[in-house]
Chains A and B, each alone.
Chain A
């Protein structure tokens, strides 16, 4: 479903050049859930942003659904892949109501039965129609993240890129959002790529994961290996030790 081959991302140029991601390659099968872990600055979010076309400077190949993407994404790309951002307090427009946020997304993707779809999206993420005309400041962190997930689901994508979807939330709310994501994946047959610094969250949600350090993927393993604490790379072992 998603294939990265030799992806490199850099910022700046000349003396100030920073290589944020270096030769990252992995593939995610359709319907699978793939995790990326690492400390801050290791380039895990940058990979997601590069896939979504939010970063101009990258090289290598990104193919989605078997087709390599161009530097400039086509509109049809965003019908396949959508992203949920880390901070629900920053990713919703403070002066747009939930209805506007979802309605605009649906309009831009050329849906006609917007009214009906907004209600359906809100039901899907467990909020219900009574939240339709609220503004972000009238919602709690968990409710906001649900709206952000509804917005990502609006174009009916097959891949969701999740950038630390629960790191700004309390543990009790985190459990609700993770359960919601699990349900949605089963219901819509979604493919997930999830970035997190929390190994236990990735262990709960994903089947395979990549460990990143300094812009490089140092190890790709499945969750069974993680559970049995049998990581082979010293950095992954260190991460494991720090999070148990």
Chain B
């Protein structure tokens, strides 16, 4: 059973030079799995994530044959109905915790707000639940963290707080938009293993958006590779190293490798045909 079914998704922005297509005909399905979306900046991967939650504001235009969440079409929902989907059924962790936490609210206020918005609970229940959630994302001394403001937290802690806040309403799908790219290598793994554990324990679907091929190959089950707004290749994460498309091969080869030193790195030569061909479907 698919949790999410996206068919023929387009995101367009009218500009003075004509309409710019940020996402062009992307289709995929998501079951209870970890789906990775990789691509360079500007390839439309974040736009795909935001379009699912209908977070693209005018003048941006989103069209799709369907975006259905367990058979429920999100495209026909009103803004009020969408608010019940956001957070409750699909939630999103953004790239940089510095910009996505409210700087003038304590962590406690923010997490409790997220919980009480979707659950009928007293303040003390919500508080207990929040502390429990912070413990689940392995924050030491959660009581102190609850009283703190976001600027008192390091980047890694801020990102874990975001994850806690996004998971507390117990959504069915988590969209993680570059959750670790603002973090150090050593902290990255920690945050990833927390996401991984929570996603598997709760049987959620995860859409993991990243520009880091190695990370996605390790962490996800299935990968969509995007180039200039369309999906150029879909493959299983463990077979990413044998990917066929020249763009994917180019990206893989342009990474420096510790185990195989070389004088010069391969540079990606772009073929205009890549962006003209229709999108590959990621539907199962």
Instruction: List A residues at the B interface (Cβ < 8 Å).
Output: 39-40, 141, 170-176, 178-179, 182, 197-201, 203-205, 223, 226-227, 238-239, 242-244
B271 within 8 A of A: no
Main secondary structure of the interface of B (DSSP, over half): loop
- 7 contacting pairs across A/B (C-beta < 8 A): A171-B213, A172-B40, A172-B254, A172-B267, A175-B266, A200-B257, A205-B256
- Contact between chains at A171 and B259 (CB < 8 Å): no
- Contact between chains at A171 and B254 (CB < 8 Å): yes
In B147-186, which residues have CB < 8 Å from any A CB? Answer: 155, 184-186
- Contact between chains at B211 and A171 (CB < 8 Å): yes
Measured between alpha carbons, how far is A242 from B254 in the docked complex, in Å?
Answer: 20
B264 within 8 A of A: yes
- Contact between chains at A182 and B264 (CB < 8 Å): yes
Answer whether A204 and B256 are a contact pair too, CB < 8 Å, given A178-B265, A182-B263: yes
Main secondary structure of the interface of A (DSSP, over half): helix
Measured between alpha carbons, how far is A169 from B251 in the docked complex, in Å?
Answer: 13
- Contact between chains at B258 and A226 (CB < 8 Å): yes
- Contact between chains at B261 and A242 (CB < 8 Å): no
12 additional A-B pairs beyond A175-B265, A175-B267, beta carbons within 8 Å, are: A39-B186, A141-B41, A170-B41, A170-B211, A171-B211, A171-B212, A179-B264, A204-B265, A223-B261, A239-B185, A242-B185, A242-B186
Answer whether A227 and B258 are a contact pair too, CB < 8 Å, given A170-B211, A172-B268, A175-B267: yes
Cβ-closest chain B residue relative to A183: B264
Count of A-B contacts judged by CB separation below 8 Å: 74
Give min CB distance, A139 to chain B, whole Å.
14
Measured between alpha carbons, how far is A171 from B225 in the docked complex, in Å?
Answer: 14
Measured between alpha carbons, how far is A173 from B265 in the docked complex, in Å?
Answer: 11
Q: Which residues of B contact A226 (CB under 8 A)?
A: 258
Q: Which residues of A contact B250 (CB under 8 A)?
A: 172
Q: Which 4 interchain pairs have the tightest Cβ spacing?
A: A204-B256, A175-B254, A175-B265, A172-B268
Q: Which residues of A contact B258 (CB under 8 A)?
A: 199-200, 203, 226-227, 243-244
Partner of B261, one of A173, A182, A201, A227: A227
In which size bucket is the chain B interface? Answer: 20 to 34
Give min CB distance, B227 to chain A, whole Å.
11
Give min CB distance, A180 to chain B, whole Å.
10
- Contact between chains at B268 and A175 (CB < 8 Å): yes
Q: Which residues of B contact A172 (CB under 8 A)?
A: 40, 250-251, 254, 267-268
Measured between alpha carbons, how far is A243 from B263 in the docked complex, in Å?
Answer: 21
Q: Which residues of B contact A176 (CB under 8 A)?
A: 267
B188 within 8 A of A: yes
Q: Which residues of A contact B256 (CB under 8 A)?
A: 175, 178, 200-201, 203-205
B121 within 8 A of A: no
Give min CB distance, B213 to chain A, whole Å.
7
- Contact between chains at B185 and A171 (CB < 8 Å): no
Q: Which residues of B contact A197 (CB under 8 A)?
A: 184-185
Measured between alpha carbons, how far is A170 from B255 in the docked complex, in Å?
Answer: 10
Residues 230-266 of B, flagged 1 when their CB comes within 8 A of A and 0 if not, give: 0000000000000000000011001111110111111
Q: Which residues of B contact A174 (CB under 8 A)?
A: 254
- Contact between chains at A242 and B188 (CB < 8 Å): yes
Q: Which residues of B contact A201 (CB under 8 A)?
A: 256
Cβ-closest chain B residue relative to A170: B40
Give min CB distance, B223 to chain A, whole Å.
15
Measured between alpha carbons, how far is A39 from B189 in the docked complex, in Å?
Answer: 13
Q: Which residues of B contact A242 (CB under 8 A)?
A: 185-186, 188-189
Q: Which residues of B contact A40 (CB under 8 A)?
A: 155, 184
